[in-house]
Amino acid sequence: VSGLASGIANGQISPEGIVAILGKTEGNGCVNDFTRAFAVSALKAELALHLPDSAVNGIAYVMSGGTEGALSPHLIVLERVDDALATSPALAIGSALTADLPAHLLGTRGQVEMVAIGVKAAMADAGISDPDDVHFVQIKCPLLTAERISLAEQGGLSVATRDTLKSMGLSRGASALGVGVALGEIDIASIDDSDIGRNTACWSSRASTSAGVELLNHEIVVLGMSENWGGALAVDHAVMRDAIDLTGVRGAMDRLGISGGKSSLIALLAKAEPGTSGRLRGARHTMLDDSDISATRHARAFVGGVLAGLVGTSEIFVSGGAEHQGPDGGGPVAIIATRKGAAS
């Protein structure tokens, strides 16, 4: 947290304005990844020096574990400040926290519904009413541990899976469907419990969800463009059709003006996953059959390389496990950049 501390010390960051902190941490990004919770604990300790406890706990901390390959651990601090003179439209940010998710609802329609309501609340917080203005919804969601499963079963409730690693995928998937429902991409009536984690035809183009052992509820951050907001930043999004499809991303970079040098990349957020067919454009991959390294780790490293090779930096937020986030084997990408012509 030394970067955050010095940013606050030199006045670059105003702690009062912080809405959310997104971070890539260097654990395995799977069940026993304690770097996410350690980072949150350290961030809260730092912010507690500047803010009352209620403000510290009101911030959304979305830590995504796993900096495989050359991906770089880093924080994205999202802050909002009152400034009547700022140019509109601009990047708008909103956040919301849901209640704790009971273990037996994880990976079910119940979780989808809980998240959809939360996304609507975060959109309201961002002052965005048209779902088309939303470019990315980042969610941190819970997972099942052996202990949580045991407690639920002692209470006579059954869980969607007893495989703790698999519970991460179900939680990410249900959360992504919740985003799709909130943004009008998916009809809640069409979703069945059995679709979750299985029906790859059903996906959101703007959901990015990440599971972690360090929370029991959902922390939701919405990024979009709004006339109600002003400032130097803009956001756009694209969908990768597979792990090496850069067509859409290049389009978004063109629209933002990055390709033409009229704006600078501030942050890139993307989802990566192995694809259930076991093939990429016909060529067999081995991610799904590897029992030494989790498939999510493989996918982050590889897609991290694909995107870093394009944008020229490894300080990008690539998160693993894209269930219902973009098409099978692909995933959504959001890019935050300086507005064309604006100073960074």
Residue 69 binds a second copy, judged by CB under 8 A: yes
Residue 301 binds a second copy, judged by CB under 8 A: yes
Least distance from a second copy to the Cβ atom of residue 274, Å: 7
Q: Which residues pair with 20 in a beta bridge?
A: 60, 78
SS3 label, residue 103: helix
Residue 194 binds a second copy, judged by CB under 8 A: no
Distance CA 211, CA 65 (A): 9
- C-beta atoms surrounding 133 within 10 Å: 18
Residue 258 binds a second copy, judged by CB under 8 A: no
Q: In the complex with a second copy, which residue's Cβ is closer, 212 or 224?
A: 212
Residue 150 binds a second copy, judged by CB under 8 A: yes
Residue 297 binds a second copy, judged by CB under 8 A: yes
What tokens does 272 get? Answer: 């990566």
Q: In the complex with a second copy, which residue's Cβ is closer, 99 or 288?
A: 288
Question: For residue 329, what is the DSSP state?
Answer: T
Sheet of strand 90-97: strand arrangement: 90-97, 219-226, 134-141, 207-211
Residue 34 binds a second copy, judged by CB under 8 A: yes
Least distance from a second copy to the Cβ atom of residue 277, Å: 6
Task: Tell me how far apart the terminal alpha carbons of the chain are, to the nearest angstrom.
Answer: 23
Residue 193 binds a second copy, judged by CB under 8 A: no
Task: Give the largest Cα separation in the chain, rounded.
Answer: 60
Contact 69, 213 (CB under 8 A): no
- Considering only 5, 7, 41, 46, the residue that binds a second copy (CB under 8 A) is 41
Residue 285 binds a second copy, judged by CB under 8 A: yes
Distance CA 300, CA 18 (A): 27
Contact 134, 198 (CB under 8 A): no
Residue 243 binds a second copy, judged by CB under 8 A: yes
Residue 199 binds a second copy, judged by CB under 8 A: no
Q: Which of residues 79-118 bind a second copy (CB under 8 A)?
A: none
Query: Using CA of residue 158, residue 143, residue 301, residue 266, what is the dihedral sign?
Result: positive
Residue 277 binds a second copy, judged by CB under 8 A: yes
Residue 288 binds a second copy, judged by CB under 8 A: yes
Residue 159 binds a second copy, judged by CB under 8 A: no
User: Cis (ω within 30 of 0) for the bond into 73?
Assistant: no
Which residue stretch of 3-11, 50-58, 226-234, 271-279 sits at the interface with a second copy (rule: CB under 8 A)? 271-279
The kind and range of the H/E element at 231 are: none
Q: In the complex with a second copy, which residue's Cβ is closer, 71 or 223?
A: 71
Contact 6, 77 (CB under 8 A): no
Cβ-based neighbours of 2, under 8 Å, separated by 6 or more: none
Residue 32 binds a second copy, judged by CB under 8 A: yes
Residues that are catalytic = 140, 210
Distance CA 236, CA 141 (A): 24
Q: Provide the angle, in degrees to the nearest 10, between the axes of the packed helices 164-182 and 109-126.
A: 50
- Considering only 73, 89, 110, 127, the residue that binds a second copy (CB under 8 A) is 73
Q: In the complex with a second copy, which residue's Cβ is closer, 118 or 197?
A: 197
Contact 210, 168 (CB under 8 A): no
Which residue stretch of 91-99, 185-193, 275-283, 320-328 sits at the interface with a second copy (rule: CB under 8 A)? 275-283
Residue 37 binds a second copy, judged by CB under 8 A: yes
Least distance from a second copy to the Cβ atom of residue 314, Å: 5
- Applying CB under 8 A, which residues contact a second copy? 26-28, 30-35, 37-38, 41-42, 45, 67-74, 145-147, 150, 162-166, 198, 243-244, 246, 274, 276-278, 280-281, 283-294, 297-299, 301-310, 312-315
